[in-house]
Amino acid sequence: MGRDVVSAKLDVIFKKLFTENSDLLHSFVASMLDIPPESIKEITISNPELPPETVASKFSRLI
Q: Which domain holds residue 21?
A: 11-61
Residue 7 has pLDDT above 60, yes or no: yes
pTM: 0.57
17 half-sphere exposure, CB direction, 13 A CA radius? 14
Domain-located, residue 50: yes
The whole-number pLDDT of residue 29 equals 93
pLDDT band at 21 (very low <50, low <70, confident <90, very high): confident
In a domain, 5, yes or no: no
Q: What pLDDT is stored for residue 15 in this prediction?
A: 77
**Residue scoring higher pLDDT (17 or 51):** 17
Q: Indicate if the alpha-carbon torsion angle 24, 30, 33, 39 is positive or negative.
A: positive
Number of residues that make up the chain:
63
Q: Is 38 among the domain residues? A: yes
- Domain presence at residue 21: yes
Q: Is residue 2 part of a domain?
A: no
The predicted-structure confidence for 27-61, as pLDDT tens digits, reads as follows: 999 999 999 999 999 988 776 666 666 656 665 55
- Domain total of the chain: 1
- Rg of the chain on CA atoms, in Å: 15
